[in-house]
Amino acid sequence: MNIVYAGLPLAGTSTTLGVLGTLCAPPLPPRLRNGSVFAQAPLEVGWRRRGEVQKLTIAQRRADNLAAIADALRSVDGIVYVADAGRRSMLSPDIELLLHDIEAHQRDPGDVPLVVQLNKRDLRGTLDVDGARAEVFWPGGLVGVVESIAPRGVGVRDALDALLGVIDP
């Protein structure tokens, strides 16, 4: 399965992927737990689910690496969008760019499930789950919104598991 993680700079996408590296089966070596490794090229990892290990290919979408992950966008099975809960005004415009990226690779975004990982929920005055649902338009609807505090690992596994539950129930 091909999973793409997306999000604005400083939203916590690299932190999320670094934490994800520790949760893989087996965990990634420390040199690969830097989340930016996923931005250089898609990386195959093992993920323990329902008592067995599944192979996932994970890539990070950033404005500076769209060419490097073009194949991942063409064959994406699902997306985890890491949103900075404190930057509400940036959420909808960036989701629109993500829609255009997928359409540019001849994919119907309505066929690609999306989970929003609402990061930085430990900060004051941040967007809540209902607010995120109201802000985000995704063809076919959102799979879900998961609250997270990525540096503590809170919500990281939950967001990926929610997405996988729709792709491979």
* Burial call 67-106: b when 16+ CB within 10 Å, e when fewer: ebbeebbeebbbbbbbbbbbeeeebeebbeebbebbeeee
pLDDT attached to residue 52: 85
CATH fold label, 2-167: Rossmann fold (3.40.50)
Residue 68 has pLDDT above 90, yes or no: no
Mean per-residue pLDDT for 38-50? 84
What are the CA-CA distances from residue 93 to residues 14, 69, 84, 85 (Å)? Answer: 20, 21, 13, 14
pLDDT attached to residue 87: 83
Residue 64 has pLDDT above 90, yes or no: no
Exposed, middle or buried, 3 (CB in 10 Å: 0-12/13-18/19+)? Answer: buried
DSSP H or E stretch at residue 20: helix 13-23
The pLDDT tens digits of the residues spanning 73-100 come to 888 899 999 988 888 788 888 888 889 8
